[in-house]
Amino acid sequence: MASPATAASTLPVALVTGAAGGLGQAIARELAGAGFAVGIGYHRSAEAAEQLQRTLAGAGHFAIAAPVTDSAGLKSMAEAIQARCGRCDVLVNCAGITRFVAHEDLEGLDDALFDSIFEVNVRGAFAAVRALKPLLERSALPGGGVVVNISSIAAVIAMGSNIAYCASKAALDNMTRSLARALAPRIRVLAVAPGLVDTEFVKSLDQGWRDQQAARTPLRRLALPLEVAKAVVAAVTQLTFTTGSIIAVDGGRPLG
């Protein structure tokens, strides 16, 4: 029987951090459907990641610890991917955290929450790129290896679950451009920036606030996880001469 590395080596490999979440699951499914062996990166949700692995189309998928706030852990993760697959062609930085705090409630946005949002949403994305850079540089995909950062329209309109979240996504957009310049020509770096996505987390928020966001969007609804996932796959497989760009999937929200 072929070893895992031999069996998977013919398939391009995509790692999705935060893949056990609603948006991460949709991205993992679309990448699997596009012919990628998908690494389902998780932090604490090992069981959910393993369950997702069993349901993906195609072959070569695996659940793997991807602790984006632990650089040593990410180095070990990269080594495990190298040993298992012999390659990594795509990194999707989908891991992220937030909590709803009204923008006018400055006391509610305490230092610990502010720091943890930046630690995961910004530093974590950078640390994942740093860990996987040697593998991404060797990718034979058309256009080279690809990093897709999952951003948000909150970076542009400064409206979202809280002020720190909006600021973290603006920082992620800026970092996307800096990394695109720094890692060219072997690695392309893009961001996909959805409007409010109708995930389970968003469904748990205040219904009136959700309705208000939909009403302010020219297309009059929230984004679907599948629509964001399709944009990620397009960035990887179709936009091979694109780097440093922020791809909006927002229903025209800045026009509202």
Catalytic residue positions? 165
CA-to-CA separations, 39 to 5, 59, 216, 228, 233, in angstroms, rounded: 13, 11, 36, 18, 15
- Which residue in the block uniquely carries the two structure tokens 């930085």? 93
Instruction: Please check whether residue 147 is in contact with residue 179, taking contact to mean a CB–CB distance below 8 angstroms.
Output: yes
Of 127, 8, 11, 4, nearest to 66 by C-alpha is 127
Residues near 102 by Cβ (< 8 Å), separated by ≥ 6? 108, 162
Of 148, 136, 139, nearest to 176 by C-alpha is 148
